[in-house]
Amino acid sequence: MTLLAGISRSLRKYLLNTESIMLICFCVVVYYYIFHGTAFWTFLERLRIKLELKVTGRYDRIPVTGDKEITSERSKASWELRKDNVGVYAIQGRRPYMEDRFNVVTDLERTKASIYGIFDGHGGEFAADFTEKTLFKTVMVRLLKSALVEEKLNMSQMLSEEILTVDDQLLSIERATGELSGTTALVALLHDDMLTVANVGDSRGVMCAKDGNTVPLSFDHKPQNSKERKRIKKAGGFISFSGVWRVAGILATSRALGDFSLKERNLVIAEPDILTFDLKEADPSFLILATDGLWDTFSNDEAVAFIKDRLDEPHYGAKSLVLQAYYRGSLDNITVMVVNLRNRTAVKVQRKGSLA
Ligand SMILES: *[C@@H]1O[C@H](CO)[C@@H](O)[C@H](O)[C@H]1NC(C)=O
Ligand SMILES: *[C@@H]1O[C@H](CO)[C@@H](O)[C@H](O)[C@H]1NC(C)=O
Ligand SMILES: *[C@@H]1O[C@H](CO)[C@@H](O)[C@H](O)[C@H]1NC(C)=O
């Protein structure tokens, strides 16, 4: 009793006087200023991130903008994605498991960059799965980080570094677990009217540029290419022909992420080739990114001509192109991604207008 009475007496004494009430009001105002005054909040967040970067040397809070393929059920025969200006269609073809992966991030918050990636696995799904997830994450983090601290990124260098880092991580997992799978990687990064395309392996990108010209976005890493053949020979390896040319009689692509056993002997490397395109100059109407399952049955020109007539279809023609490759007898898993850029400038103007 005496305790309660004591508490209530001191409450009255210390809380219900003018000074305390004013202090409480002040705190409430500051609270609302911080949490509802955007400018102040942004400033504070930037400060916090800078601090976090300084202290820990990294920043890895991931925005939830990545769009996963619809499902990863093994029993499924096809996968599709339609989002903004991107259409993807993938089929398992005549193989027992689907080992292709893809991912798309459009207009990443704060950066307005878009990332498109296709990963063609072999020897199991693990490498393609790991690379798709990890690489998209780390590239998003690098883009966000540079936007937040207002640092200018060299996109080619950034993609190259991240691909090699993911390969290192993948290899150390493979070393520890005896996993042997590998994957190609084809990643296109759209940023400030520039397109940066990194390629490891034999997936391929093309674009339909101004006046309908076909422009390759990447060049396949095949064992029989003279540059690759020389490199493999120099590393003490060989290539041989069984159906297609193969590294050490095993692998039909000369570069890949993972592939622990071949990489140990340096026969396969993950070094990406990177090309950069000025979109103001090229003014493309669309891009096609696809796994080798498509390119076994379509030339670059044929694929571009095919999509040009079908850009008004729901998947911007990606589905028709996959099915056509299948009918032509492609035995592989086939993934085709079409990025429709016909309204690129119109979309930009609209966005500016809606902001104002
Ligand atoms: C398709 O899947 C099969 C079986 O899992 C695999 O051996 C093959 O390498 C895959 N093809 C591609 C291009 O990923
Ligand atoms: C970006 O880095 C690459 C090396 O990775 C270099 O060749 C290129 O000149 C750099 N570009 C710019 C604009 O600094
Ligand atoms: C893109 O532009 C064309 C012609 O300029 C127009 O007919 C079409 O509706 C536009 N599509 C979208 C998705 O805005």
Distance (Å, whole) CA 238 – CA 221: 15
Of all protein residues, whose CA lies closest to atom 11 belonging to ligand 3? 343
Say if CB 83 and CB 339 are below 8 A apart. no
Q: So what's the pLDDT on residue 356?
A: 31
pLDDT for 45 equals 62
C-alpha 12 chain-centroid distance: 61
pLDDT for 65: 33
pLDDT of residue 195: 96
Backbone φ and ψ for 336, nearest 5 degrees, come out as -125, 130
- CA–CA distance, 179 with 126 (Å, rounded to integer): 8
Nearest CA to ligand 3 atom 1: 343
Burial of 112 (0-12, 13-18, 19+ CB in 10 A): middle
Which atom belonging to ligand 1 lies closest to the Cα atom of 128? Answer: 14
Dig out the tokens for 66 from the structure.
Answer: 């990545």
Tell how far the Cα of 53 is from the centroid of ligand 2, in angstroms: 24
Q: Which atom of ligand 2 is nearest to the CA of 157?
A: 5
Residue nearest to atom 13 of ligand 3 (CA): 343
- Strand pairing report for 194-200 and 204-208: unpaired
For residue 148, the model assigns a pLDDT of 84
Q: What's the confidence (pLDDT) of residue 129?
A: 87
User: Mutation test of ligand 1: which of 76, 122, 186, 221 has the most ligand atoms closer than 8 Å to its C-beta?
Assistant: 122
Q: Which residues lie closer than 8 Å to 106 by C-beta, 6 or more apart?
A: 83, 84, 85, 86, 114
Dist. CA 344 → ligand 3 center (Å): 10
Whole-number pLDDT of residue 63: 32
Cβ partners under 8 Å of residue 173, min gap 6: 130, 179
* Ligand 1: residue whose CA is nearest its atom 7: 122
Q: What is the predicted pLDDT for the residue at 83?
A: 82
What's the pLDDT score for residue 222? Answer: 94
Query: What stretches in the chain show pLDDT beneath 50?
Result: 57-75, 349-356
| pLDDT given for residue 5 in this prediction | 80
Ligand closest to 160 (CA) is 2
Could you write out the DSSP letters of every residue in 247-295? ETTTBS-SB-EE-HHHHHTTSSB-PPEEEEEEHHHH--SEEEEE-HHHH
Quick: pLDDT tens for 14-61. Answer: 777 788 888 888 887 787 676 666 666 666 766 665 666 556 544 443
Atom nearest to 293 CA in ligand 1: 13
> So what's the pLDDT on residue 97?
58
Q: How many CB atoms lie within 10 A of CB 66?
A: 16
| CA 42 distance to own-chain centroid | 27
Whether residue 74 contacts residue 326, with contact meaning beta carbons closer than 8 Å, is answered with: no
The beta strands (E) that lie in 84-183 are given as 86-91, 100-105, 114-122, 182-183
Residues with CB under 6 A from ligand 1: 95-97, 99-100, 120-122, 291-293, 332-333
| Cα–Cα distance, 259 to 131 (Å, whole number) | 12
Phi, psi at 273, each rounded to 5°: -95, 135
Closest residue (by CA) to atom 6 of ligand 2?
A: 157
pLDDT in tens, 138-154: 999 999 888 888 888 99
- Does the C-beta of 276 come closer than 6 Å to ligand 2? no
Cβ < 6 Å from ligand 3: which residues?
342-343
